[in-house]
């Protein structure tokens, strides 16, 4: 197995990717929770009108972009990954919750 030097310790590729996969899944779940909170606030504050759902979806996309971009920046600046390593992870973390939010809004509201 190939090993990669990470912060002074050697890790195998499987150890390296499994920890990142779990972290990525946790962040994606946080994205869905953030979306649910935005939708809940729209329902609570404006009785889930079409306009409030659109505003909540747009607010979620903006908020989630900032969070996903911050996660990417931390991976590049602090964890030592390259931009090209982090970009696909950023796209998955950002697009999965956003695409779900847009599809649900388009289909049901």
What pTM does this model have? 0.81
Q: Which whole number is the average pLDDT over 13-20?
A: 60
Beta-carbon count within 10 A of 64 CB: 22
The answer to whether residue 104 sits within a structural domain is yes
The answer to whether residue 72 sits within a structural domain is yes
- State the chain's mean pLDDT as an integer: 88
Predicted pLDDT at 56 = 96
pLDDT above 50 (res 13): no
Encoded tokens for 47? 């009785």
User: Under DSSP, is residue 51 helix (H, G, I), strand (E, B) or coil?
Assistant: helix
Which pLDDT tens digit goes with each residue over 25-45? 999 999 999 999 999 999 999
Domain total of the chain: 1
Tell me the sheet residues that pair with 5: 10
- Is residue 94 within 8 A of residue 68, CB to CB? The reply is yes
Domain that holds residue 76: 12-108
Higher pLDDT, 28 or 14: 28
């Amino acid at each position: 197995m190939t090993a990669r030097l990470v912060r002074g310790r050697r890790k195998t590729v499987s150890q390296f990717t499994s920890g990142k996969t779990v972290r990525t899944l946790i962040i994606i779940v946080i994205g869905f929770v953030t979306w649910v909170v935005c939708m809940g606030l729209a329902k609570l504050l404006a009785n889930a009108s079409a306009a409030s759902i659109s505003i909540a979806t747009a607010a979620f996309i903006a908020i989630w972009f900032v969070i996903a971009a911050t996660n990417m920046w931390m991976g590049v600046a602090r964890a030592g990954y390259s931009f090209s390593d982090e970009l696909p992870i950023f796209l998955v973390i950002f697009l999965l919750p956003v695409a779900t939010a847009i599809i649900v809004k388009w289909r049901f509201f």
